Structure 1
Amino acid sequence: MVMESLTACLHPAPRKPMLVGVEYPSNQRCSRQIIRAGLTDISIQEEVIRKELQKENERLARQAEEEAAEKQRANDKARKEMREWWTQKWEAKKRSEGWGGYEKCWVLRAAVTAEPDKVAVISGEGVLVGAAPLVSGSIKPFLVDYPMVSSVHAHVYGRDVVKGYKKYVREYFVVDLGSTNGTYLNRSKLRPRTEVRLSSGDALKFGDERAIFVVESQK
């Protein structure tokens, strides 16, 4: 017992170092630090969310601009096609009516010397040849009153034919409409309801020997 006391006096147990003037944090201060750290994390999350929302808004704005540009391109294309279509129709109308600066329309001119002034201009949708032709749309009636000519005998008309890129040539055609005595082109009988192309100087006979007309360019 005496020995143990002596040993304790000679070798005392080490003590924890004490810092003078230092105050250890209390539980309240630790709570404040935890709250401050939590607020910092929330601020970082809010910043991340704000940046993501900004990116999404920018993406939506770009998408809206692209859609508007695509719509504008489609509208421009449609307007261009409409202008081209209208130009083609208007030019075709001027050609068909024989306006100045364009090729004259062709005519059907009577080959019989007794009726040299009997002429039909093949304009618009053409002429309907017969003893009692019916008027339909812009088709012009052309009265040919002979015994062997049917009431509605044949249709003679012109049409713009595509010959290349934006290049049109007006050509003329005849169709026999199922007449009783037939239609002849240069002495060859035409098949009923079959379109046949005409050339300048061709002679058309509508059933009767007196009903012969020459197809020629208008003077």
Structure 2
Amino acid sequence: MAMENLTSCLHPPFPSWKWNLVGAAHRFNQRTQLIRASLSETSIQEEAIKKELRREEEKITRQLEEEAARKQHANDKARKEMREWWIEKWEAKKRSEGWGGYEKCWVLRAIDPNESHLAVISGEGILLGAAPLAYGTIKPFVVDFPMVSSVHAHVYGKDVVKGYKKYVREYFVVDLGSTNGTYLNRSKLRPRTEVRLKKGDVLKFGDERATFIVEFQS
């Protein structure tokens, strides 16, 4: 009995209210850890959501920029085509109707001095052959030789756009599937193929007598 009393004095029993405080503190620590873990998971989820939202915003921004660029390109192309159409068609029409234009006209002049053939290449050009017909502003030019087809070739000039408000007048010949062919400087042309002409070129339409030189009108 005396030993028990001595032990009780040296090691007094832990009060129950202190045990309750220890338990409460332990439970508080557990709840705090759970809350911190939950907050950490929530922060990670929120950060992932924010990153995904940023990616979506960037994607939408890129799509809008690409769409705007496509529209701008289409508008630029349409304006360019309209400008080229205006230069090539309207200005050509003005010149063909004598509103201004070139100081000299291109012509086909017969090489044979005994021939008086002279064709002025104006408007939409000339339709050359033994029996050509007028077509729109294309003028017929009769070259009646045995080896010249009824409708042999088309010789014409047109404005070729070289840049904004910059164009040049170039001349072309097209063989229209003639029987005996069209020759440019002794080279036979492929039928229905546009070939550019230059001053001094020699054209032969089937017959040696139907040979012309391309030059300016004097």
Structure 2 length as normaliser, TM-score? 0.55
Give the match for residue 170 of structure 1.
169
Change (3 A) 1:149 1:18: closer
Structure 1 segment 1-219 matched on structure 2, within 5 A: 5-11=1-7, 12-18=9-15, 24=21, 30=27, 34=31, 37=34, 41=39, 44=43, 47-48=46-47, 50-90=49-89, 93-94=92-93, 97=96, 99-103=98-102, 104-108=104-108, 120-134=119-133, 139-145=138-144, 150-160=149-159, 168-173=167-172, 190-193=186-189, 197-199=197-199, 217=216
Change (3 A) 1:193 1:110: closer
Instruction: Count the aligned residue pairs.
Output: 207
Give secondary structure in 2 for the equivalent of 1:69: helix
Q: In 1, Cα distance between the equivalents of 2:179 and 2:66?
A: 60
After superposition, what is the alpha-carbon deviation per residue over 1:138-162, rounded to whole angstroms, capped at 9, x for unaligned?
6432234567765334443224568
**Which consecutive unaligned segments of at least 5 residues does structure 2 have?**
none
Contact 1:96 1:123 in 2 (8 A): no
CA RMSD of aligned residues (A): 5.4
Change (3 A) 1:60 1:131: closer
- For residue 96 of structure 1, report the CA deviation from its aligned partner: 6.5
Name the aligned partner's letter for residue 15 of structure 1: P
Give secondary structure in 2 for the equivalent of 1:77: helix
Give secondary structure in 1 for the equivalent of 2:72: helix
Calculate percent identity across the aligned residue pairs: 37
- For residue 45 of structure 1, report the CA deviation from its aligned partner: 6.0
Change (3 A) 1:48 1:141: same
- For residue 132 of structure 1, report the CA deviation from its aligned partner: 0.8
Q: In 2, Cα distance between the equivalents of 1:46 and 1:133?
A: 84
- For residue 38 of structure 1, report the CA deviation from its aligned partner: 5.0
After superposition, what is the alpha-carbon deviation per residue over 1:162-214, rounded to whole angstroms, capped at 9, x for unaligned?
8x76654324455677576x9899xxx845437583537x89899597x7878
Q: In 2, Cα distance between the equivalents of 1:206 and 1:151?
A: 11
- For residue 14 of structure 1, report the CA deviation from its aligned partner: 0.2
Give secondary structure in 2 for the equivalent of 1:58: helix
Q: In 1, Cα distance between the equivalents of 2:138 and 2:110?
A: 19
**Which consecutive unaligned segments of at least 5 residues does structure 1 have?**
none
Name the aligned partner's letter for residue 132 of structure 1: A
Give secondary structure in 1 for the equivalent of 2:141: strand
Q: In 2, Cα distance between the equivalents of 1:193 and 1:49?
A: 71
Change (3 A) 1:165 1:125: same
Contact 2:129 2:151 in 1 (8 A): yes
Q: In 1, Cα distance between the equivalents of 2:81 and 2:196?
A: 32
- For residue 134 of structure 1, report the CA deviation from its aligned partner: 4.6
